[in-house]
Amino acid sequence: MSNNLESSLPGMKRTESGSAATILIIVVLAVLAVGAAVFGVWAYSGRQDYKNNSDKKTAAAVAAAEASQKTQLQTQFDQEIKQPYKTFTGSSTYGLITFNYPNTWSSYVDQTNSSEPINGYFNPGDVPGTSSNSAFALRLELTSNAYNDVIGQFSSQVTGGTVTATAYVPPKMKGVANAQTGTLLTGTISQNNSGSLQGEMLVIPVRDKTLQLYTLSNDYLSDFNNIVLANLKFVP
């Protein structure tokens, strides 16, 4: 009986050893499974976060592109409706002054005063009253005042730095016989009840008169330079 008991013990030891190994394998597999599950959740969360951020970035990029395109189209439209340009033509008695201006502008020009043969007001839409102190898109004055006297009125502003003065010849007058050089004034060129008016003014001799052509708002500088001054002509 003793021999039978002893002969059974090795089998029992092998069974216990096998059970421990099995338990260890199960534990390891369970740990790996938990790890895989945790990794899966983390990876899924990361993908969702990336997707959400990517969607937001894509939406932002699309919105920015649409806004940029809208701005470009609006700018293009604003320029196209200014054409075909209107043309102002003055009397041949006073040098046949001509220039273009946007089709969207209206004008009021008084040519009844001998001391100021041309006095014009130009503005988008309707022209405000001439005594309204409005910041007109364009003003036109041909006066009997001497050129040097007109320029002298801005000497203190030039000295103070609120106005810059540059020698200027209109593009279409370059090389024209007897055409004189004028002065382009940029900065605070006028005052009204609302304060300083920023803009640009060309002062230039035309025969025995002085031409003053100017914008009273920086909003119209592009039109002033690229349409009005770019096409200004007169007979010296």
Helical (H) or strand (E) element with 64: helix 2-80
- % the chain with pLDDT above 90: 59
pLDDT tens digits, one per residue of 175-208:
999 999 999 999 999 987 667 899 999 999 999 9
pLDDT tens digits, one per residue of 112-136:
998 999 999 999 999 998 888 889 9
Instruction: Give the β-pairing of 138-143 and 163-168.
Output: unpaired
C-alpha–C-alpha distance, residues 116 and 94, integer Å: 11
CA R_g for the chain: 42
Do 228 and 99 form a contact (C-beta atoms < 8 A)? Answer: yes
Confidence category of residue 17, pLDDT binned at 50, 70, 90:
low
Confidence category of residue 52, pLDDT binned at 50, 70, 90:
confident
C-alpha–C-alpha distance, residues 229 and 97, integer Å: 12
Burial (CB count <10 Å: 0-12, 13-18, 19+), residue 15: exposed
Confidence category of residue 18, pLDDT binned at 50, 70, 90:
low
C-alpha–C-alpha distance, residues 17 and 5, integer Å: 19
Q: What is the mean pLDDT of residues 156-160?
A: 96
pLDDT tens digits, one per residue of 209-234:
999 999 999 999 999 999 999 999 99
